[in-house]
Amino acid sequence: MKHNSRKPKAAASTKKSMWKTLHAVHAALRDLNSADYGKHTPAKRRFGRFSVLTGSVYTRRRVMVACFGLVLLVEVLQLVWPSDRFYPLATLDGYSVGGQSAHGAAQRLNARALQRTVTLTDSTTSTTVTLTAKQAGITVDYDARAKAAARHSLAQRVIPFSWLFVHNTTSDDLPDAFGASKGQTHADAVNASVKFVDGALQAVDPSVGYTFNSGDILKAAGSGFASSGAGDLATATIEMNIVQPTVSMDTAQQLLKTINAALGDGVTFTYDDGSWSLPASSVAKAVSATANDQDNTQLDVTIISSTLIRQLKSQGVALQVAQKAVDDGAVPSLFAVKGYASRAIDANDTASALASMLASGSNSPVGISITEVDNFELYEGLPTQGSTKDKLSQLFGDATYSVAVYDLSTGKSKLQINADEVTTSASTYKLFVAYSMIHAVESGDLTWDSPLNGMTLSSCMATMIVDSDNDCPEAWLSLYGFDALTEQAHEIGANNTNFRYGDMTTTANDLATVLKGYYSNSIVSADSANHLFELMGEQVYRDGIPTGIGSDGVVQDKVGFLDSLLNDAAIVRCDKGDYAMVIMTDGSSWHKIAQASLLIYEDL
């Protein structure tokens, strides 16, 4: 009890000491704010028991407190700033990365660096070629470099306002972001040609072919490689094994004059006693040129038949030709309707006639050839009532089927029926094997001349796609493993596709996914995708989607068939646009698949 009775006195003593200390601090602040404080005592304003200083002295004190608070706030922000995020004014190799996470900055820098140019000069011919870093085989991975650059030392965090001057990160001590692909970088020579570009026929410049090691660029450029954040990524002289094109620009320009003379103001097309004129600009859309087979220094006029048919349809010529052909008994009466009219025209023969006229340089009428209808049964019994889904349900009857159709210009779905239902892929799995092969080449692990199953990888992929050969994909699976290909399929978004020995499964949507990836060049380069599409256009099993689309478009597809399973996965390029179209069936027929593709095309 005695101890407790003393406690208030101790507290009072402590309180008195605190007040003395506060008065001393107050006096010190007063002296700091005004040397002549004694002469100019600041005014006081009382609020009950409290008084507040007013006037110039108090204003200066508030400024001092505000400055101190700002410094303290900045210090706190620096201390708690995320370790994987750049300070606000930071740059990395000349690029602004302020406020970005290390991962986000790395992704942006990777994309920018791959688009920067590399100017190369061949050491033998002195030919100069300008490529993007990606085309030159330069690899870029900024992840490690960005993480190291974004990391803040203790001094940078403690020193106030260090973020204002610690931001220019280009140190050679940082991990290197650039490398080179392991394999050789190759491009075929491209001849000068004539193409429809930007609304008119134009002579297109040739380009040289080359083969070189990407690593030579890094060696030749040395310290000059990526020395600045703008301009060329590198300028180097290396051995490029240049291959010159065979067709010169002069040859292409001469052919262009010949074609334009033949086009005149327009082209007249005839059939029977009918005559129709198309504007030169419409016909020009179908015109191209290829090197002559006998003399590769010369060009031949070629006509893209599907584009020509598209123009004949859009101008109403196809329907009038079909009506006359029906009257003549040359084609069935079914063709005298807008939807099927273009199928009365033999697209290839008509295109050949137009090419001959243009090559002559003299404008003259072009005769339209009529097709010999040997598949009229394709049009018999086609459902006509209801939606596309209703028609397909009537068409396939009791068969199991799935369908996926996507507009390739937008990536949007146009039709889905059981599109996520997992089913046996049959040989359509080879589209995923093709991706694995291309990925191995583009990553530098292999070249197209690498051996596989007693032939080159290039030949193996060709026979796998064109002839649906099984030996080459089986050899590839033995080499890389089923799990590896499953993982690659999942990486590109085909999450329901799985590779197991004797049981390869996928969905219509997954097949559409890989087709969309090829078309958009998001999973392989444009050159690789175009090569694969050429092989798909040459594949020998054409009774499904290609038959259904007919002359209304160009179909590049891969089929699969196993027992009662019939599948077809296609890129369809037609007058209504470019589409990915996948039809998978169990218990149906190629004839039904062809009819289904015809129904889908008509309803697009």
Q: Quick check: 361 pLDDT over 60? A: yes
Element (H, E) at 306: helix 305-314
Tokens in use for 413? 């779905």
Q: Quick check: 350 pLDDT over 90? A: yes
Residue of 200, 367, 187 whose CA lies nearest to 280: 200
What distance in Å separates the CA atoms of residue 269 and residue 350, rounded to the nearest whole number?
A: 9
**Alpha-helical runs (H) found in 163-288:** 215-221, 249-263, 280-284
Least confident of 2-11, 21-30, 409-418: 2-11
Contact 158, 121 (CB under 8 A): no
What pLDDT does 78 receive? 62
What distance in Å separates the CA atoms of residue 450 and residue 457, rounded to the nearest whole number?
A: 6
- In this prediction, residues 392-411 reach a mean pLDDT of 96
Least confident of 47-51, 57-61, 330-334, 373-377: 47-51
> pLDDT band at 305, cuts 50/70/90?
very high
Q: Which residue has the higher pLDDT, 147 or 321?
A: 321
Q: What is the pLDDT of residues 118-135, one digit of tens each?
A: 999 999 999 999 999 988
What pLDDT does 212 receive? 95
Contact 377, 591 (CB under 8 A): yes
Q: Quick check: 181 pLDDT over 90? A: no
| pLDDT, averaged across the chain | 87
Residue of 303, 301, 312, 291 whose CA lies nearest to 259: 301
Count of alpha carbons within 13 Å of 242, Cβ hemisphere only?
18
- In this prediction, residues 188-203 reach a mean pLDDT of 95
What percentage of the chain reaches a pLDDT higher than 90? 64
C-alpha 274, offset from chain centre: 46
> pLDDT band at 10, cuts 50/70/90?
very low
- In this prediction, residues 3-7 reach a mean pLDDT of 42
Q: Quick check: 48 pLDDT over 70? A: no
Radius of gyration, alpha carbons of the chain: 37
C-alpha 573, offset from chain centre: 18
Q: Quick check: 540 pLDDT over 50? A: yes
What pLDDT does 444 receive? 82
Of the chain, the end-to-end C-alpha distance in Å amounts to 98
Residue of 170, 180, 153, 188 whose CA lies nearest to 78: 153
Contact 53, 60 (CB under 8 A): no
What pLDDT does 11 receive? 45
β 117-122/234-238 pair status: parallel
Dihedral, CA of residue 370, residue 372, residue 375 and residue 379, to nearest 10: 30
Residue of 187, 188, 189, 194 whose CA lies nearest to 290: 194
Domains and CATH numbers, the chain: 91-243 (no CATH), 250-373 (3.10.20), 383-603 (3.40.710.10)
Q: Quick check: 184 pLDDT over 70? A: yes
Q: What is the pTM of this model?
A: 0.72
What pLDDT does 280 receive? 97
What distance in Å separates the CA atoms of residue 196 and residue 303, rounded to the nearest whole number?
A: 11
